[in-house]
Every structure is written in structure tokens, then in C-alpha cells.
Amino acid sequence: MEDLLRPIYQERASHANTLGVLLLEKIKPENPATDNFDVVLLVITKQNDNDKNALVKHYQLENGKIAALKIADTNQLENWINLGTNRRVIDWVLNGKVLFERNEYITELKQTIHDFPLNNRKKRIGLEFAKLIRRFIDGKELFESGNLLDAYNNMVHALHHLARLSVIDHGFHPEVTVWNQVRKIEPEVYKLYQELIESRESLKKRLDLLFLASEFLVHSSTKVGSLHLLEVMNHNEVWTIQELVTHPELTDYSIDFEALVEYLIEKKLIKVITEETKGLNIYHRKYSSHI
């Protein structure tokens, strides 16, 4: 396979802005890590790469197999890794065969992924916790209104976020097959997920039991899950919501942010401060960290 693809990756490796080329082959009939391509070539380039002809190319090989060429600059790659928006890339970097690297770029990248620096972990945990809170609150409201299938869908997602949070808190990047990790790292979370999808109880009963059990786990995750946001808030005494949502460290929370803030107000980790407006009995709402 490597011989067939050599003309492609050698041409890319000859570019001065190419930092590394990785090859990952499909080793099982169904392999989510390669999007079921027989082989994936990942080309990593310097930031501000001017070669915008193609970020993805597909190839049909003479042996009947198919290959994907994916090109990412360092900025895109760091976003995928640090924000968890493309978990496959962790597999590509850690398990891919290094065909080319400039100045040990891939060697150092692998070490950074293994080390998973604390600052990166805190933000990733915060993002997963915000998603967890959004899904958990929505799921509970849907359950109480009798929309059981929608509640079930939200709780499956909530448990996935709780699983990824647990994996990150233990110092690991969540993989595509995250439940294999969770089964070893956090068996209590794995058991909740297993009972939700495999139990023979009625859906209402399963959800009822899940909300009771997961309430404690969500509460237990609050301190670590809110740390990143509260540390940012400690830089100023008082914040408007606009100042918070536009802060460079907080913009990635996106649509989950306000639900997280309201949850932390309820848990008395964020304090609400009101200021008078020109309108009668209408007040500006501002926020302060309690830690």
C-alpha cells in the first residue's frame, strides 16, 4: 500500500511548508478511525499554508482499494486536538506510520498528546461539562413533560459527555471508541450507560433510575468541570454576559455557555450582581466568581 501511495506523499513531502506525513491503514473490515477508507494519508503543513487547492482528496488504487488524503495546517490540527472536534486525529497521530517529518515535528506532537498539558485538560473538561449540563437539563425537562424518546436521546449524549470528561480528567484524550476507555477508567459511568441501553425495564423506568443515579455523578463533576470558567472569571471582579461570551478563552463554549452559567449560579459558584437601569424595576444582570 505504501509503495502505491509513494508518488503522492513524496510530492507533498517535497514542499517546504510540509511538517509531516502520516499513514494509517484499515486493519479491520469496519474501522471508524479511517472513515472506512483502506488507508488515510494525513499531511500536516505550517500555519497560513497558501496551498489551498485541496484539503481532502480521494484515490482509487489499482488493487481496488480506496485512499483518502487529508491536509491540515498546524492551527487546524491544534483545534482538532485541543477542542476534541475530531477525535480520529488522535488515532492518526499516535498510531499512524510516520512517512516523513521535518525537525522531529511529529515526534514532539506525539509527546505533547501523551503529556496532555494541564491547561489544555482544564479547558477540554470545561467544554465537555458545559455540554453535559445542557444535555442533562434538556433531558430532564423532556422526561418531565412526557417526551421519553427525546429525553432518552439527550441522556445518551449526556453520558457520552460525562464519559469523555472522565477520560480527560484521568489525563487521556478521548478516543473514537471512548466506552472501551471508560470501562477501565470509570466503570460506574460505563455501568450507567450499559443499563440505559441494555436494560429490559420500560423506557420510563430506565430514565427515572438514570436521573437519580446520574444526578450524583453530575454534582460530583461540578468542581472540576467549572474550574476553567471560574479561573477566567477570577481575572475580573464583575462580568457582563457579553464580556464572558466574547472572552477568547470562553468563545468555544458556544451555545452551551449560558446553561452552564445558570447551573453554576444554582450551585452558588457564580454570584449574580444587579445594577439599576433607566427602566423602572429593570436591572442589569452581572456575574462574579465565588472562588
Look at residues 63, 85, 115 and tell me which one is the last residue of a structural domain.
115
| Total domains in the fold of the chain | 2
Write out the residue range of the structural domain in which residue 67 sits: 2-115
Whether 88 and 127 map to the same domain: the answer is: no
Per-residue pLDDT, averaged over 216-234, amounts to 95
Residue 1's pLDDT is what?
Answer: 66
Query: Which one has a higher pLDDT value, 282 or 27?
Result: 282
Other Cβ atoms less than 10 A from the Cβ of 272: the count is 12
Residue 97's pLDDT is what?
Answer: 93
Pick from 192, 193, 189, 197: nearest CA to 221: 189
Whether 137 and 263 map to the same domain: the answer is: yes
Look at residues 95, 115, 135 and tell me which one is the last residue of a structural domain.
115
Whether 122 and 172 map to the same domain: the answer is: yes
Residue 12's pLDDT is what?
Answer: 84
Whether 190 and 148 map to the same domain: the answer is: yes
Spatial distance between the Cα atoms of 80 and 109, rounded to a whole number of angstroms: 13
Spatial distance between the Cα atoms of 88 and 36, rounded to a whole number of angstroms: 12
Strand, helix or coil at 278? Answer: coil
- How many residues in the chain? 291
Look at residues 115, 146, 172 and tell me which one is the last residue of a structural domain.
115
Position 32 confidence tier, pLDDT thresholds 50, 70, 90: low
All three cell numbers of 128, joined, read 465537555
Spatial distance between the Cα atoms of 153 and 158, rounded to a whole number of angstroms: 9
Residue 273's pLDDT is what?
Answer: 94
Look up the CATH number of the domain holding residue 22.
Answer: 3.30.460.10
Look up the CATH number of the domain holding residue 195.
Answer: 1.20.120.330
Whether 22 and 130 map to the same domain: the answer is: no
On the question of pLDDT at 261 being above 90, the answer is yes
Give the whole-number percent of the chain exceeding pLDDT 90: 65
Whether 146 and 75 map to the same domain: the answer is: no
